[in-house]
Amino acid sequence: MKIRRFLSLLAAIFLSTACPWACAEQEVQIGVCIYDGTDTFMSALLDRLVENAQGLARLSVCDSKNDQNLQNDQVEQLIADGVQALILNPVDRTAAGYLIEKAGAYNIPMVFINREPLLEDMQLFDKAYYVGASAAQSGQLSGEIMAEYFLTHPQADKNGDGVVQYVLLKGEPGHQDAELRSQYALKPLQDMGFGLEKLQEDTGNWQRLQAQDKMAGFLAAYGDRIECVIANNDDMALGAIDALKAAGYFSDGRFMPVVGVDATVPAQEALRQGSLLGTVLNDGENQAKAALRLATLLIRGEPVNEENLGYPLSDGRYVWIPYQPLTAEDLDEK
């Protein structure tokens, strides 16, 4: 179902219902590229872009299939097709400079989402902007959920040594979110006085099946020595839970605290079922709104400021959308 829904967006999308905020009479043309349509969060963010574009913009959407060369070709074609702005989720953030120079040569505004280009590349073009969320904040919040659990559940420290023996499932190697989420997720545990022992870490590349395989390996190597699982996103957290269930966890009183990031729909279901301890809401709705408003203001040549945009700007060209912690209790309150 998800694949069919996504493929239906690959051609130009024409939308014409009422605009959610004041806008010009004629729709603008925006090209959108996301790094991989199979990514749960990015697929959901694309849905939000399409919904919020109604009456505001005509979108031409591309799935770059985790191939930077393909994305380069797609951007060149979108420029040739006459789009007035670009919203880009780069495959490789370190390769964004080429795209910025290409768009800059045609004076086509661009808004990057989810994967932040290098600062020196952003400085290549004064109409390059970024909309995203602080990876450090997401790591901090997921770590706070885990630290609170260990404080309120002393039995989680299985051997009673005051040290949290953990395994870590990291996202794409070199991705800024993977590095920062991993680093900051540990800080709350340290701040609350827990020692830390990393039994093992490995990359799951943001993917559920890869994480399931890696978690199965962790369990084979360390078994009940593992006291918690920290994952850089929900898909990997759910993959870890799949492996844990196969090993007998989440039944007969056996529990393993697992945290993720994004608050995807499947993750929220896992929260309700009690297999996922917590996650952190990556607010795709507001990221989509901010990206579209930015692109539209730039196309029309209107001032890009907080009053027109509706979101605070940092350093003139960055919009940071806050994360929010999410547990089963939070869902119950909604």
Q: Are residues 67 and 12 in the same domain?
A: yes
**Exposure on the CB side of residue 189, measured as CA atoms within 13 A:** 26
pLDDT confidence of residue 217: 98
What's this model's pTM, rounded to 2 decimal places? 0.84
Q: Are residues 220 and 231 in the same domain?
A: yes
Q: Are residues 248 and 180 in the same domain?
A: yes
pLDDT confidence of residue 26: 67
pLDDT confidence of residue 7: 36
Q: Report yes or no on 330 lying in a domain.
A: no
Q: Report yes or no on 333 lying in a domain.
A: no
pLDDT by residue, tens only, the chain of 334 residues: 333 343 334 333 333 332 333 333 468 999 999 999 999 999 999 999 999 999 899 999 999 999 999 999 999 999 999 999 999 999 999 999 999 999 999 999 999 999 999 999 999 999 999 999 999 999 999 999 999 999 999 999 999 999 999 999 999 888 889 999 999 999 999 999 999 999 999 999 999 999 999 999 999 999 999 999 999 999 999 999 999 999 999 999 999 999 999 999 999 999 999 999 999 999 999 999 999 999 999 999 999 999 999 999 999 999 999 999 999 999 877 5
Q: Report yes or no on 186 lying in a domain.
A: yes
Domain extent at residue 212: 135-281
Q: Are residues 314 and 267 in the same domain?
A: no
Q: Are residues 106 and 140 in the same domain?
A: no
CATH number of residue 276's parent domain:
3.40.50.2300
Q: Are residues 38 and 103 in the same domain?
A: yes
Q: Report yes or no on 328 lying in a domain.
A: no
Q: Are residues 155 and 86 in the same domain?
A: no
State both tokens at 158: 């299985």
Q: Report yes or no on 112 lying in a domain.
A: yes
Q: Report yes or no on 61 lying in a domain.
A: yes
Q: Report yes or no on 34 lying in a domain.
A: yes
pLDDT confidence of residue 334: 57
Q: How far is CA 28 from CA 62, 82, 304, in A?
A: 17, 11, 17
Q: Are residues 219 and 118 in the same domain?
A: no
Q: Are residues 155 and 257 in the same domain?
A: yes
Number of domain units in the chain: 2
Q: Are residues 276 and 287 in the same domain?
A: no
Q: Report yes or no on 230 lying in a domain.
A: yes
Q: Are residues 266 and 317 in the same domain?
A: no
Q: Are residues 9 and 23 in the same domain?
A: yes
